[in-house]
């Protein structure tokens, strides 16, 4: 939940992705294995009085799609920008990429399972309560 400035509206778009990983030699999961994540984008923008929303979710999907495709069913350990593939690193990477495509994005949540994940919040975002 967020404290909103008058005239602003907060919306979110959720999506899931899966990726393949290799663990370091000697680790029990050395063989190729996979992980499934939920990713949620939170956008803040003025409400469009005519349309009744801040941004069309179809437009959000189109703008975020190149970032999503870089994550979904890809070997993330091969991306040089991801030092490791923790939810914190994935959220940081996706947020950095989303800033140019979706400047209204103020928060990204990445969860590996219910209750286990990371929330990355823009420094410009107001105080938020835990979800």
pLDDT in tens, 40-54: 888 888 888 888 877
Q: What is the tens place of the pLDDT at every residue in 66-97?
A: 998 988 888 887 888 877 778 888 899 999 99
The CA–CA distances, whole Å, from 129 to 1, 40, 120 equal 6, 16, 13
Structural domain spans, the chain: 9-19+34-121
Alpha helices in 1-131 (DSSP H): 57-71, 87-101
Rounded-to-10 torsion of CA 85, 96, 40, 46: 170
Cα radius of gyration rounded to whole Å, the chain: 16
| Greatest alpha-carbon span in the chain | 59
Q: Which CATH architecture has domain 9-19+34-121?
A: 2-Layer Sandwich (3.30)
The answer to whether residue 1 scores a pLDDT higher than 50 is no
């Amino acid at each position: 939940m967020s404290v909103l400035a008058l005239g602003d509206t907060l919306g979110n778009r959720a999506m899931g992705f899966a990726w393949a990983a290799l663990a370091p030699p000697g680790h029990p999961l050395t063989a190729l294995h996979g992980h499934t994540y939920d990713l949620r984008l939170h956008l803040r923008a003025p409400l469009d009085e005519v349309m009744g929303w801040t941004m069309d979710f179809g437009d959000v999907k189109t703008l975020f799609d190149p970032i999503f495709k870089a994550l979904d069913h890809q070997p993330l350990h091969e991306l040089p920008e991801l030092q490791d593939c923790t939810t914190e690193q994935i959220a940081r990477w996706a947020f950095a990429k989303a800033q140019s495509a979706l400047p209204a994005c103020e928060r990204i949540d990445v969860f590996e399972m219910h209750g286990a994940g990371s929330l990355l919040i823009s420094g410009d975002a107001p105080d938020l309560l835990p979800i």
